[in-house]
């Protein structure tokens, strides 16, 4: 995994993303649902090699309430193949992608496994961060404490509906980066970028030095480039997973991620 020196108090995720941002680079974080098909690990490697700065891996949950139809379908397929949280983490432990891996999952899987136990498993697997969208600020401890102790960055989300003073509190507790929710709604592709995506990016940028990545409703290279006029980077999930569900495979996934990279690099 990453061997760069880590600044005190900053984990691998934040250090890596800050370094890249400071070199004038826009951040690209593709999302893949863990266990969605036989080739998912190959896909993760291919995507990592196609210009991603970090990769988000979904640990599928039976009731993904913040996800739209595409990621619901991928989660269902993964669970149908017998995918478990421990299995995903074990697989990730054998992976060498050279960029930080962040897992995204729902809180019940964390709570069921036990905070310290699963934070430890994540660390052993080389995971550097976790996104748990149904765990808001008020409910965050004691997970966040266990995650901090294990060196796992808990990435918090800011939504278009989040009031200003709450944005500041969320940014103070977020680790690695801050995930700006681009639109009010569940994950899914949109034909046009919501106006709220830029607004959220601006508000979060004003509140923190942490890198700010916008996800939910960022679907195309053009949309990614537009958001990154304000944000430090983007998370792209449904647009990639939809291609995988349609059979694009690791090669097709890498092509799509390359097109996002080109757009972010000003191509």
Partner 1 sequence: MSGPHSDARSLSESGLIMGDPGPTGRFGEFGGRFVPEALVPACMELEASFRQAWIDPAFRRELDHLLHSYGGRPTPVTECLRLSEELGVRVLLKREDLAHTGSHKINNVVGQALLARRMGKKRLIAETGAGQHGVATATAAALFGMECVVYMGAVDMERQALNVFRMELLGAEVRSVESGSRTLKDAVNEALRDWVASVDTTHYCLGSVMGPHPYPWMVRELQRVVGDESRAQCRQILDGKDPDVVVACAGGGSNAAGTFAGFADGTSSVLVGVEAAGGAAMHNGIPGVLHGMRSALMQDESGQILEAESISAGLDYPGIGPEHAHLAAIGRARYETAGDTEVVEAFQRLSKTEGIIPALESAHAVAWVIRVAGTEVLPTGSTVLITLSGRGDKDVAQVRDILRRGGTTPR
Residues engaged in binding partner 1 (CB under 8 A)? 61-66, 68, 72, 76, 79, 84-86, 107-113, 133-139, 141, 156-163, 166, 170, 181, 184-186
CB 168, min distance to partner 1, A? 14
CB 163, min distance to partner 1, A? 6
Please, which residue, 64 or 176, has the CB nearer to partner 1?
Answer: 64
CB 221, min distance to partner 1, A? 25
- Specify whether 56 is catalytic: yes
- Specify whether 67 is catalytic: yes
Please, which residue, 64 or 126, has the CB nearer to partner 1?
Answer: 64
Please, which residue, 31 or 61, has the CB nearer to partner 1?
Answer: 61
The active-site residue out of 67, 73, 222, 246 is 67
CB burial of 142-157 (b: ≥16 within 10 Å; e: otherwise) equals ebbebbbebbbbbbbb
Instruction: Give the residue numbers marked as catalytic.
Output: 56, 67
């Amino acid at each position: 995994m990453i061997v760069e020196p880590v600044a005190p108090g900053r984990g691998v995720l934040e250090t890596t993303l800050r370094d890249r941002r400071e070199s004038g680079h826009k951040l690209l974080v593709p999302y893949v649902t863990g266990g969605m098909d036989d080739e998912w690990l190959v896909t993760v490697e291919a995507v990592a090699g196609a210009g991603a700065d970090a990769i988000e891996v979904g640990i599928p949950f039976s009731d993904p309430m913040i996800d739209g139809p595409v990621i619901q379908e991928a989660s269902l397929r993964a669970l149908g193949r017998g995918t478990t949280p421990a299995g995903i983490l074990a697989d990730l432990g054998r992976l060498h992608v050279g960029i930080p891996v962040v897992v995204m999952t729902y809180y019940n899987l964390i709570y069921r496994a036990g905070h310290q136990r699963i934070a430890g498993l994540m660390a052993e697997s080389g995971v550097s961060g976790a996104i748990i969208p149904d765990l808001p600020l008020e409910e965050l401890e004691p997970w966040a404490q266990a995650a901090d102790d294990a060196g796992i960055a808990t990435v918090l989300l800011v939504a278009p509906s989040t009031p200003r003073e709450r944005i500041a509190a969320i940014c103070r507790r977020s680790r690695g980066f801050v995930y700006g929710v681009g639109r009010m709604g569940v994950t899914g592709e949109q034909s046009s970028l919501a106006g709220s995506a830029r607004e959220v990016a601006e508000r979060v940028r004003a509140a923190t030095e942490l890198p700010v990545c916008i996800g939910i409703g960022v679907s195309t290279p053009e949309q990614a480039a537009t958001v990154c006029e304000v944000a430090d980077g983007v998370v792209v999930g449904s647009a990639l997973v939809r291609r995988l569900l349609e059979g694009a495979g690791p090669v097709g996934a890498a092509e799509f991620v390359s097109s996002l990279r080109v757009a972010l690099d000003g191509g």
